[in-house]
Amino acid sequence: MIVYPAIDIKDGACVRLSQGKFDEVCRYTDKPYTMAEEFVRAGAHWIHTVDLDGARDGERKNAQAIKEIVQKAGDVPVQIGGGVRDMLSLEKTLALGVRRVVIGTAAVNNPAFVQEAVRKYGDHVAVGIDAKDGFAATHGWEQVSRIKAVDLAKQMEDYGVRTIIYTDIATDGMLQGPNVAAMQEMSKAVSCDIIASGGVSCKDDVLRLKETGVAGVIIGKAIYAGRINLEDVILSVE
């Protein structure tokens, strides 16, 4: 299982939100690339980033911060989500040097775009499914659709998507443990690589998620809060 330490970017700074609420922001550093440097030193094999402004507004406002993260990450690949809703924005994001782009809102609102993106860019494209009470949420989690997360995952699998980042909104940023049952359900429902996101508070949470069969886990707030030693966790799941 791959551990993905996370860098969430808002207004050019590294921040964390609680349950995706934009009015509950904890600002960590105005230089997000310094976190990438720390993660590389800890032995990270991937770095996960989110453009929170892009996720909410659909516009790439943090391109410079993303480019700096990619540069500082060096040989460690970076994946990013947030605000990629058409081919132009996808191509501009890939041009920043990221290895994989996560399509979120557009997977619900414009599935044809996902099909086109996967046909053209293959494994450089992933889909992010953010669930609230089992239903897919969009626009930076501020809107909830009527599509069940598992059904959306199956649709994306049919389109050729190989990687899905599955986030349980209720647990995200709360440090109260992940929704293990939901992650296990998703892992069993599709053959895609599932990257679990939300709620990880300690090393035991990561080990519990590994048992569900997910291919990866995203860890954010637990690292910043000092609850997890990233190097130790990476070694424990390899």
pTM listed for this prediction: 0.93
Give the least confident one: 43-52, 69-78, 105-114. 105-114
Rounded-to-integer distance, Cα 16 and Cα 162, Å: 27
Structure tokens at 178: 């992940």
Q: How confident is the model at residue 17 (pLDDT cuts 50, 70, 90)?
A: confident
Average pLDDT over residues 2-11: 96
More confident residue, 175 or 15: 15
Place of tokens 């053959």: 191
What is the per-residue pLDDT across 75-130, written as a single tens digit (0 to 9) for each? 999 999 988 989 999 999 999 999 999 998 889 889 999 999 999 999 999 999 98
Give the CA angle between residues 145, 199, 161 to the nearest 5°: 50
> Residue 121 burial by CB count (10 A; 0-12/13-18/19+): exposed, middle or buried?
middle
**Tens-place pLDDT, residues 141-191:** 567 888 999 999 999 999 999 999 999 887 756 677 899 999 999 999 999
Rounded Cα distance between 140 and 126, Å, is 17
Residues of the chain above pLDDT 70, percent: 94
In this prediction, residue 106 carries a pLDDT of 87
Please identify every residue annotated as catalytic.
Answer: 8, 130
Give the C-alpha separation, 89 to 58, whole Å. 9
Does the pLDDT of residue 26 top 90, yes or no? no
In the chain, the domains with their CATH numbers are: 2-237 (3.20.20.70)
> Quick one: pLDDT at residue 140?
57
Element (H, E) at 175: none
Q: Can you tell me the distance from the alpha carbon of 148 to that of 130, in angstroms, rounded to the nearest whole number? A: 10
Q: What is the pLDDT of residue 169?
A: 82
Is the pLDDT confidence value at 58 over 90? no
Point out the least confidently predicted range of 65-69, 161-165, 177-181, 211-215.
Answer: 177-181
Least confident segment among 23-27, 136-140, 189-193: 136-140
* Phi and psi based region of residue 175 (left: phi greater than 0; alpha: psi -120 to 50; beta: remaining): left
pLDDT band at 61 (very low <50, low <70, confident <90, very high): confident
